[in-house]
Amino acid sequence: MVKGSPVQQRDGKRHVSLSPFLLMCVLGGFAIFSSTMSKNPALPLFIRTLNVPIETVGFIAAASTVVGVLISLPAGILSDIIGRRRVLFIAAIIFATAPFLYLLVNVPWQLVIVRVYHGLATAILGPVAMAAVADSFQASRGERMAWYSSATMFGRFLAPFVGGALILGNNFMWVFLTAGVFGVLALTAVVRLPRASFHAPDTLHHRRSWGQIGNEVKFVLTHRGILATSIIEAVQYFGFGALETYLPIYLQEQRGFSTLQIGILFTMQILVATLTKPVMGRLSDLYGRGTLIIGGLILGGISLGVITFSGNFFIIMGIIGLFGLGLATVTASTSALVADLSHATSYGSSLGVLSSIMDIGHSTGPMVAGVLVGSYQYRFSFGVTGAAMIFFACVFPFAMRGTGITSETHKSTG
């Protein structure tokens, strides 16, 4: 991969050409900015304007992530076969069109359909983009994957603040129009990717038989370390899904916060995660993935469990920032660890498994939290979810026994 932004001469004029890696970062940043703006904090508040019961909000919000359970693995496998760029182009078309469909929603079932369609894009982008980066870097894989992820998280960081500011009472039109514009910009970034960029290594030389592909998928689906790491990421996103869906409603209905204040809080969460993730990725390259995964999950669980104990804006900001740090610490290591454990020709498949299992956690988090909020209260719901994160952090070292990887010793093998 070429690094930097070389200047090319065309038609007597100087043109700046971004490297494929930088274009990938632009794609990820714009795409996730667009999708996050459509969701946080707009989506749960938009759902409530449709007169949906509180315990049902989580099921509608989870519609997009349920799609990832079914689509991420096939998308990863397809990118191993036909190349990353072609599959990314499919995702980019959805990113460019889905936000405008929210403007047509009048009843809850229409919103479910739009969320399912929008979910296809994120389900494809997650594993395929990460596989593209894993193809290109070995020794610095954790750091580079973290840099790409930070580019996407920069989009997440801006989206809640901008989205919250664009909500005018019960009018969400400007939120979805702005999200649509950035979805189109993400499509433009994919179009500019060189056609030879980001193939799975094996597809540059010859096509594999379906038997070889099947053996690689079987290897991924039966590898204890890959599955354990994927489950841990699912637990992290189980907590994140509960937080991003029900904390905005809690803060608005129980604490009286404005949508702008809510947007600022979620901006702080993602800002912390964005700034710390490359550092955590570098640390995982140097000192091992497992220790960071365990520590980050415990930090996130504690933060989630105590976030409803104060109504002070700045205390909540500090707590949600700690949750963002925990999120960055876990996810900077999980994707890199899965790639480390995989064959070079099956990064797409392996990261597809990671993304599919992650989406199980991300989609069930709002569902379970909704049931708990409906039956008990917000504090109980967040407390149980945080306790589950801490429990799985303690179990993770035992799950990794026998895989050849330990939380204390594993480092990047590039």
Q: Examine the pLDDT at 137 and tell me if it is beyond 70.
A: no
- In a domain, residue 367? The reply is yes
CA distance 283 to 333: 9
Is residue 220 within 8 A of residue 104, CB to CB? The reply is no
In one letter, which amino acid is 30? Answer: F
Q: For residue 339, which of 192, 196, 148 has the smallest C-alpha distance?
A: 148
- In a domain, residue 3? The reply is no
Q: Work out the average pLDDT over 330-339.
A: 84
Query: Greater confidence, 100 or 332?
Result: 100
Return the SS3 of 15. strand
Q: Could you tell me the CATH number of the domain that includes residue 144? A: 1.20.1250.20
Percent with pLDDT over 70 in the chain = 86
CA distance 110 to 50: 11
Q: For residue 248, which of 273, 265, 269, 271 has the smallest C-alpha distance?
A: 265
Which range is most confident: 52-56, 247-251, 299-303, 338-342? 299-303
- In a domain, residue 13? The reply is no
Dump pLDDT digits (tens) for 316-327.
999 999 999 999
Across the strands, what pairs with 8?
Answer: 15
Q: Which two tokens stand for residue 16?
A: 């700046």
Backbone angles phi, psi at 9, to 5 degrees: -105, 120
- In a domain, residue 11? The reply is no
Among 209-213, 266-270, 373-377, the range scoring the smallest mean pLDDT is 209-213
Dump pLDDT digits (tens) for 264-302.
898 888 789 888 888 888 888 887 788 899 999 999 999
pLDDT for the residue 4: 46
Q: How many domains does the chain contain in total?
A: 1
- In a domain, residue 12? The reply is no
Q: Work out the average pLDDT over 326-338.
A: 87
Mean pLDDT of all residues belonging to the chain: 83
Q: Which two tokens stand for residue 256?
A: 């009286």
pLDDT for the residue 410: 45
CA distance 183 to 177: 10
Q: Work out the average pLDDT over 371-389.
A: 91
CA distance 216 to 409: 26
CA distance 167 to 45: 10
- Looking at residue 171, the DSSP 8-state letter turns out to be B
- In a domain, residue 276? The reply is yes
Q: Which two tokens stand for residue 251?
A: 């803060």
CA distance 46 to 38: 10
- In a domain, residue 167? The reply is yes
Percent with pLDDT over 90 in the chain = 36
Residue 67 domain boundaries: 18-201+213-399
- In a domain, residue 407? The reply is no
Across the strands, what pairs with 286?
Answer: none
